[in-house]
A and B are shown apart, each in its own frame.
Chain A
Amino acid sequence: SYELTQPPSVSVSPGQTARITCSGDALPKKYAYWYQQKSGQAPVLVIYEDTKRPSGIPERFSGSSSGTMATLTISGAQVEDEADYYCYSTDSSGNHRRVFGGGTKLTVL
């Protein structure tokens, strides 16, 4: 079955740049999406179609994708950005399965 691989944790100091990666064999053909989930809350979309930012999401959130890796970048991370981040994409094999990465815990301190 198709898998998306993320690092379990990333840690930065406030004001630093945080980068969270997501690797998957189908990413050259399929878009990556990124979701932020704070403790006890539902996920929130922060990046769609690799690089696009929904309205209301701060400009410090950006996305990129190259080859089999997508990256979520938080430039000048804030304490309030501390959360779990999940990448999401779809399988390219034609089975239409939707897949989430295992999630990355971002610590900002």
Chain B
Amino acid sequence: EVQLVESGGGSVQPGGSLRLTCAASGFTFSSYEMNWVRQAPGKGLEWISYISSSGSTIYYADSVKGRFTISRDNAKHSLYLQMNSLRAEDTAVYYCAREAKAEGFDYWGQGTLVTVSS
């Protein structure tokens, strides 16, 4: 069974940092592209970052470029999101999502809440 479990969320002050982790199981992690998607309270889904299966290709949404860094460790079956210079508008539930070639984002984690507030 495919499972994606996010962790690392919490409360942080503006300007602070957090590192999110997505632990993957039930599939060959190194064969799949991965993404982070977030959802602010009461708002829609926002794609924020992509990483290829090898980690060699990375894309970011303009809203997080230069502040967030996506990475992965295929040996540990884990995806990461390092978030620096956090702002109030980064407050959201952060989901990791597996990307299949045909099916797109076919599996999602349950999300981890990040709250940026003074």
Contacts and interface: CB of A to CB of B under 8 A. Distances in A.
Nearest to B103: A48
Contacts of B88: none
Interface in A51-105: 52, 54, 84, 86, 88, 95-103
A100 B108 contact: no
Chain B interface, DSSP helix/strand/loop, else mixed: strand
A14 interface: no
Interface residues of B, number: 20
Contacts, number: 58
Contacts of A43: 45, 95, 105, 108
A100 B59 CA distance: 15
A33 B47 CA distance: 14
B26 interface: no
A35 B50 contact: no
Contacts of B50: 96, 98
A91 to B, nearest CB: 10
B103 A1 contact: no
B105 A45 contact: yes
Contact of A96 (B59, B95, B109): B59
B105 A42 contact: no
Nearest to B104: A33
Given A48-B103, A49-B102, A98 B47 contact: yes
Contact of B105 (A35, A52, A97): A35
B110 A102 contact: no
Contact of B45 (A1, A31, A54, A103): A103
B34 to A, nearest CB: 12
Interface of A: 1, 31, 33, 35, 37, 42-45, 48-49, 52, 54, 84, 86, 88, 95-103
